[in-house]
Chains A and B, each alone.
Chain A
Amino acid sequence: MLAGWIVALAEANGFMAQSTSVPGVAQRTGATIYYVELFPKDAAKKARQEPILAMMPVPGDVDIVIASEMMEAGRALMRGFVTARTTLIASTHRIYAISEKEPLGDGRRDTAQIHQLAKDTAGRFIAFDMDAAANTTGSFISAVLFGALAGSEALPFAHNAFEDIIRSGKKGVSSSLRGFELGLSEAAQTTRSNTVKHTDPATGVPPAPAVAPLLQRLNDDFAAPTHEMLRHGLTRVVDYQDPAYGTLYLDRMAAIHGLDQAQNGSGKSWRLTNDVARYLALKMTYEDTIRVADLKTRAGRFARFPDELGTTDAQIITVTEFMHPRVQELCDILPAALGRFILRSPKTKAALGVLFGKGRKIQTTSLRGFVLLYGVSGLKFMRRASLRFAVEEERTKTWLDTITNTAPENYALACEIAGLQRLIKGYGSTYDRGLGNFTTITGALDAFKAAPNAHKQLKTLKDAALMDEDGAALNAAMNKLHKGRKT
């Protein structure tokens, strides 16, 4: 659409235009690259000859590059199409490649380097989130890009000439014009930094009396640079269970904080305290059925739907959850002895398996579905007695002990051990896999923990565990480690 507009714009304003395109591999999600050449009709008339227009761009010979996504700008840079003569117009939003979405951790590539190179290389660099601009105006990104092109003044045509081209179209003229206007005004302000806005919640609501002493203790007993993380952790833990659970969290953190202090933590930005504060909170708030039911039924969640689904009050939304509680998850929330009994008795397990073997769809917006989940969320009171709680407590203690024992000898390694908790997340098979990797790595720890670069080795293993779900990278890293020790 954009290439068509540009050709029409040029032809209507005294230029010859030629566009060519190469549809990407798979006409599907692959991008199509358009190349447009413009030539003044006057010059052709004067020469009494038709110009020879090229079929593809030559590096160093491109006046305008328009990239509808940030990595496309990177690709144009890579191919040398962006030089000092080039006006580079790029949308800063990302359409992540599968290689970025696939990893178990965070596989997103950094665009800061592309921003910097674009700024340094292009004659002019106009960048803002044009996808968001298209969404707010209900138009397509082409319209915003067309507006940005007009605003860049890189073409010798008046703004209303651009608008005339949009108006000559048949469909979506008004929305396209809105997108165009926004693109135009944003581009006119030229380069914009893409800063993430931090929306601070409404200020000044005092804490409830039940938790005020906890906050007081946090502020009194811990070093200031740890307050933010501890507050996040504490909030999460209390929200998960109750203030008593928060006290347990702070007790544990106090021990770590003391240890950190002894290791001159203040000179290390209190890394140990901060890391443990983060991961202990996550560990103590493991995801069980009660928690899921709680989160699924909250008013705050329901309030988010219209925004997430783009609906208004005129429409009615019904929401269906996809749950797959297995016998394991049932036993997790049962009293420890009962849970253990069922898991050990194949017969009972099989009988229950009939009930809990298949996936369930639960309509949370219906009374039946809601009340069911609401009821499950109410089982919080018996969580402390549950099988899973006992198991998790045991694991937490072991993990904390390892950290505590390691810190005096190797501070950085202790921090890395804390960070290993990042591997354990999710539900069902995902949780099992993460726990398996965690156990594999901690099991190998004894063998190399005395080495001076042990923390680096541990980090290598952790990163490998987050690479693929088959464990191929982790296996390779473990093998390398073993080999390295032998030689």
Chain B
Amino acid sequence: MAERSFTNEVQKLTIGAGETFHGEGILAVTKALLQSGVSYVGGYQGAPISHLMDVLSDAEPILNDLGVHFETSANEGAAAAMLAASVNYPLRGAVTWKSTVGTNVASDALASVASSGVMGGTLIIVGEDYGEGSSIMQERSHPFAMKSQIWLLDPRPNLTSITTMVEKGFALSEASNTPVMLELRIRACHVSGSFAAKDNVRPEFTLRDAMENPVRDYGRVVLPPSNFVHEVEKIERRWPAAVAHIKKHKFNEFLGGHKGDVGIVVQGGLYNTLMRAMELAGLADSFGRTDIPIYCLNVTYPLIEDEMRGFCADKRAVLMVEEGQPEYIEQALNTILRQADLPTRIVGKEVLPRAGEYTGQVLLSGLQAFFETYSKGKIKAATPDTPLDPKAQKKLTQSVPIRPVGFCTGCPERPVFTAMKLVQRELGNFHVSCDIGCHLFSILPPFNIGNTTMGYGLGWSGASAFNTPADKRTISIMGDGGFWHNGLTSGVGNSVFNKNDNILVIIDNGYSAATGGQDLLSSRAKNKTRVTGQPIENAVRGLGVDWVRPVNTYDLGTMVKTLTEALTTDVKGPKVILAQSECMLNKQRREKPLTNAAIKKGQRTIKTRFGVDADTCTGDHACIRLSGCPSLSIADNPDPLREDPITRVNNDCVGCGVCGEITHAAVLCPSFYSAQVIHNPSGWDRWRAGFRGAVIGFLQRRADKKRARYSFGTAP
């Protein structure tokens, strides 16, 4: 079960012509797919398109009604390979993933499908995780399109433009027998808005039709001599067909004015940000009306050369707004103009930064620099207020800590790293190879564990070079998400085959947690539409690992012991520790409503949570350094003599028990207590509590009386 449920929202997908669709960008894309008559959809989750996968998942009944097959692919490569269905048959299909990481994984199949060419329209929707909030290396998807010859759409970020481009993209794909990639930036995925809906379209030619009437065309298989034919076909037939189609159907837009000797070329996705910057510079109004000519590229590959030449011909200089580097469009534009002997000056990275997201502020500075040189006096004055002066800003940098990220309250992965920290105290530090997933937070304080992260599922292969006799072993981490994504073969299989003697810790929390809690092959939860419940232990043993130890992650003592054994045993060969416990977010999502309902109904229910005694806590925070749980915070020390803040347990404690385990395993202080709160207690509960209370109360009163003999009273 995914983190966010779209069960209500997906009903919007059924609306038809004459109605207006209101909602988030991602939901709009799904609606556009259905309006385009797709036969199949696949993909792999990851921000910013996790929600697209969740929407599709929750919309499965609607998809089934329309005869659309939806697949939660094992990884992006598997998703891309799905597009093979459109090579021989007039079937429309779409796949989606997080880019560029997902595109990296998919690129093998993408190159193949681009070489074969497609008969049915194929759309690859990539969520570009670039700029603020991104969690991956900062790269562009653009070169993937260039190298494999896939057309790249970058629509203006409003729902009408986005959905129109989805529909137009399929037509372009079919007209040019080429897959089309639709690039959506993170904010466009989550933007709210509306567009005029159309009826959903049931595919005329179905998957079943294809399966029952197979068609084979040797010319479409990537093997000599066809592969050489494909290369020529790409250049001589598909490319010109695409250019003609893009021009004819006006994919790109000429916006703004038509006069003057300067103009702007912009990627469609950056159009709104550019217009805001222009408005602030006094060059446009809120509706985007401006006398500066703007050529908006809703298709960023291929470039339409004569449109480009026409736009630039009468201009002295053109500002090229292209985010990221290398600046492929700017380079191509210069070539186009040079070959046409046009002297127009293309100004891009000269005034705009090579690295980083193009925010309104960045574009405003770029505009100012551009107009200062090429149309002086055009910008009167920038209107925004002056923010904080740099001196105060610098001072603030010192007093504002970076935004805290880390494991959730009660997270079952945290104690694994607590155990590793405790083991390292005894045995010294180890080389730790990390993977992709929530567990990567181990590299941050308070754990500071982990050396590298090479990719999803690549944790163990990231340490495969260290396969040589040594006095210390290496530890690799992998989540269950990464394991099924490819770690099973690239990590475990690889280690067995190459006689690795090191350790892999698989964080088996039952979900692809980092991407939003989607189900996996090994999820313990029942799933109506997928097969779950396939234990990782069976898979690992099946590959030939003999040393396998499943450990409950909340059992800190056993985890410490198991890690120590794995690190010190004389047994040779790959060692796998399965750190098992359900993702707390998912667990709470499932159990909390049930518990609350039971309490409301009057059933006897026990809730556990932890607390810290302010009296005995001395404010050393060793517990925080070992746990890092967000519900462990600090508060003023109520003791007037002590200066350091005490540890405090917040109300969001879920009572996972790790605090107690840590105090025991690390021999910390006696300040932690666990409290079991019995809601709707039974008669026996009450009687027992009453009896205990009476005896304890008697003893306490006796002690209080004794203490009263030494009371200092209170000052009047």
Q: Is B405 a contact of A30 with CB atoms below 8 Å? A: yes
Contacts A101-B621, A287-B618 given; indicate if A428 touches B667 (C-beta within 8 A): yes
Query: Most chain-A Cβ atoms within 10 A of its Cβ — which of B158, B673, B709?
Result: B673
Q: Is A297 a contact of B700 with CB atoms below 8 Å? A: yes
Q: Mark A297-309, 1 if CB is under 8 A from B, else 0.
A: 1110110010011
Return A29 CB to nearest CB of chain B, in Å: 5
Q: Is A110 a contact of B399 with CB atoms below 8 Å? A: yes
Q: Is A287 a contact of B616 with CB atoms below 8 Å? A: yes
Segment touching A, from B74-82, B268-276, B571-579 = B268-276
Q: Is B633 a contact of A101 with CB atoms below 8 Å? A: yes
Q: Is A114 a contact of B401 with CB atoms below 8 Å? A: no
Interface status of B384 (Cβ within 8 A of chain A): yes
Contacts A104-B621, A208-B708, A370-B699 given; indicate if A324 touches B670 (C-beta within 8 A): yes
Segment touching B, from A16-24, A181-189, A347-355, A444-452 = A16-24
Q: Is A316 a contact of B386 with CB atoms below 8 Å? A: no
Bound-state CA distance A121–B148 (Å) is: 52
Q: Mark B665-706, 1 if CB is under 8 A from A, else 0.
A: 111111011111111110001100100100111011101100
Q: Which residue of B lies closest to A324 (CB)?
A: B667
Find chain B residues with CB under 8 A from A442 CB: none
Interface status of B381 (Cβ within 8 A of chain A): no
Q: Is B664 a contact of A85 with CB atoms below 8 Å? A: no
Find chain A residues with CB under 8 A from B272 CB: 52-55
Return B522 CB to nearest CB of chain A, in Å: 21
Contacts A201-B714, A236-B641, A287-B618 given; indicate if A96 touches B678 (C-beta within 8 A): no
Interface status of A25 (Cβ within 8 A of chain B): yes
Q: Is B712 a contact of A27 with CB atoms below 8 Å? A: no
Q: Is A60 a contact of B387 with CB atoms below 8 Å? A: yes
Q: Is B660 a contact of A361 with CB atoms below 8 Å? A: yes
Find chain A residues with CB under 8 A from B359 CB: 56, 58
Q: Is B618 a contact of A281 with CB atoms below 8 Å? A: no
Return A51 CB to nearest CB of chain B, in Å: 5
Contacts A19-B192, A26-B135, A317-B676 given; indicate if A54 touches B273 (C-beta within 8 A): yes
Interface status of B134 (Cβ within 8 A of chain A): yes
Find chain A residues with CB under 8 A from B455 CB: none
Contacts A367-B692, A429-B667 given; indicate if A52 touches B700 (C-beta within 8 A): no
CB < 8 Å neighbour of A208 from B672, B704, B711 = B711
Q: Is A85 a contact of B385 with CB atoms below 8 Å? A: yes
Q: Is B404 a contact of A422 with CB atoms below 8 Å? A: no
Find chain A residues with CB under 8 A from B288 CB: 49, 51-52
Q: Is B387 a contact of A18 with CB atoms below 8 Å? A: no
Find chain B residues with CB under 8 A from A84 CB: 385
Q: Is B675 a contact of A97 with CB atoms below 8 Å? A: no
Find chain A residues with CB under 8 A from B669 CB: 426-428, 430
Interface status of B218 (Cβ within 8 A of chain A): no
Q: Is B385 a contact of A60 with CB atoms below 8 Å? A: yes
Q: Is A55 a contact of B707 with CB atoms below 8 Å? A: no
Query: Most chain-A Cβ atoms within 10 A of its Cβ — which of B364, B585, B675, B681?
Result: B675
Q: Mark B394-437, 1 if CB is under 8 A from A, else 0.
A: 01110111111111100000000000000000000000000000
Interface status of B619 (Cβ within 8 A of chain A): yes
Contacts A22-B132, A95-B404 given; indicate if A282 touches B651 (C-beta within 8 A): no
Find chain B residues with CB under 8 A from A282 CB: 641-642
Bound-state CA distance A224–B8 (Å) is: 70
Find chain A residues with CB under 8 A from B678 CB: 315-318
Interface status of A193 (Cβ within 8 A of chain B): no
Bound-state CA distance A166–B399 (Å) is: 36
For chain B, give the interface size range.
35 or more
Interface status of A255 (Cβ within 8 A of chain B): no
Q: Which residue of B lies closest to A280 (CB)?
A: B641
Q: Is A205 a contact of B615 with CB atoms below 8 Å? A: no
Contacts A22-B187, A58-B364, A113-B395 given; indicate if A71 touches B3 (C-beta within 8 A): no
Bound-state CA distance A138–B297 (Å) is: 51
Segment touching A, from B11-19, B331-339, B526-534, B624-632 = B624-632
Find chain B residues with CB under 8 A from A61 CB: 276, 280, 360, 383-385
Find chain A residues with CB under 8 A from B643 CB: 105-106, 422
Contacts A322-B670, A425-B620 given; indicate if A18 touches B714 (C-beta within 8 A): no
Contacts A101-B632, A426-B618, A429-B666 given; indicate if A211 touches B711 (C-beta within 8 A): yes
Segment touching B, from A72-80, A330-338, A384-392, A402-410 = A72-80
Q: Which residue of B lies closest to A233 (CB)?
A: B641
Interface status of A475 (Cβ within 8 A of chain B): no
Interface status of B609 (Cβ within 8 A of chain A): yes
Return A246 CB to nearest CB of chain B, in Å: 8
CB < 8 Å neighbour of A21 from B187, B364, B387, B395 = B187
| Chain A residues within 8 Å of chain B by Cβ, number | 139
Query: Most chain-A Cβ atoms within 10 A of its Cβ — which of B386, B446, B664, B710?
Result: B710
CB < 8 Å neighbour of A426 from B193, B287, B622, B628 = B622
Q: Mark B35-62, 1 if CB is under 8 A from A, else 0.
A: 0000000000001100000000000000
Return A354 CB to nearest CB of chain B, in Å: 16
Q: Mark A453-474, 1 if CB is under 8 A from B, else 0.
A: 0000000000000000100000
Which chain A residues in 135-179 approach chain B with CB under 8 Å? 135
Interface status of A243 (Cβ within 8 A of chain B): yes
Interface status of B313 (Cβ within 8 A of chain A): no
CB < 8 Å neighbour of A98 from B360, B392, B446, B696 = B446
Which chain B residues in 168-199 approach chain A with CB under 8 Å? 185-188, 190-193
Interface status of B301 (Cβ within 8 A of chain A): no
Find chain A residues with CB under 8 A from B632 CB: 101
Q: Is B399 a contact of A109 with CB atoms below 8 Å? A: yes
Find chain B residues with CB under 8 A from A428 CB: 667-669
Q: Is A206 a contact of B673 with CB atoms below 8 Å? A: no
Interface status of B393 (Cβ within 8 A of chain A): yes
Find chain B residues with CB under 8 A from A86 CB: 385
Interface status of A235 (Cβ within 8 A of chain B): yes
Bound-state CA distance A233–B613 (Å) is: 20
Q: Is B668 a contact of A427 with CB atoms below 8 Å? A: yes
Interface status of A440 (Cβ within 8 A of chain B): no
Find chain B residues with CB under 8 A from A203 CB: 714-716
Q: Is A296 a contact of B613 with CB atoms below 8 Å? A: yes
Which chain A residues in 72-123 approach chain B with CB under 8 Å? 74-75, 77-78, 80-86, 95-106, 108-111, 113-114, 117, 121
CB < 8 Å neighbour of B191 from A20, A26, A60, A292 = A20
Find chain B residues with CB under 8 A from A364 CB: 673
Bound-state CA distance A97–B696 (Å) is: 40
Q: Is A21 a contact of B446 with CB atoms below 8 Å? A: no
Q: Is A322 a contact of B663 with CB atoms below 8 Å? A: yes
Bound-state CA distance A296–B335 (Å) is: 80
Interface status of A484 (Cβ within 8 A of chain B): no
Interface status of B644 (Cβ within 8 A of chain A): yes
Return A418 CB to nearest CB of chain B, in Å: 13
Interface status of A202 (Cβ within 8 A of chain B): yes
Interface status of A31 (Cβ within 8 A of chain B): yes
Query: Most chain-A Cβ atoms within 10 A of its Cβ — which of B438, B712, B713, B714?
Result: B712
Write 13 A-B pairs (CB below 8 A) sorted by A numbering.
Answer: A7-B192, A25-B135, A29-B407, A55-B157, A98-B446, A98-B628, A106-B644, A109-B400, A202-B714, A297-B700, A315-B678, A319-B673, A319-B675
Residues of B within 8 A of A (CB): 3, 47-48, 132-135, 157-158, 185-188, 190-193, 271-273, 275-277, 280, 286-289, 359-361, 364, 383-388, 392-393, 395-397, 399-408, 438, 441, 444-446, 514, 516, 585, 609, 611, 613, 615-616, 618-622, 624-625, 628, 630, 632-634, 640-645, 651, 659-660, 663-670, 672-681, 685-686, 689, 692, 695-697, 699-701, 703-704, 707-716
- In order of increasing CB-CB distance, the 4 nearest A-B pairs are A60-B384, A80-B387, A359-B664, A83-B385
Residues of A within 8 A of B (CB): 7, 17-31, 33, 35, 39, 43-44, 47, 49-61, 71, 74-75, 77-78, 80-86, 95-106, 108-111, 113-114, 117, 121, 135, 201-208, 210-211, 215, 229, 231-236, 238-239, 242-243, 278, 281-282, 287, 292, 295-299, 301-302, 305, 308-311, 314-324, 326, 358-359, 361, 364-367, 370-371, 374, 377, 422, 425-430, 434, 469
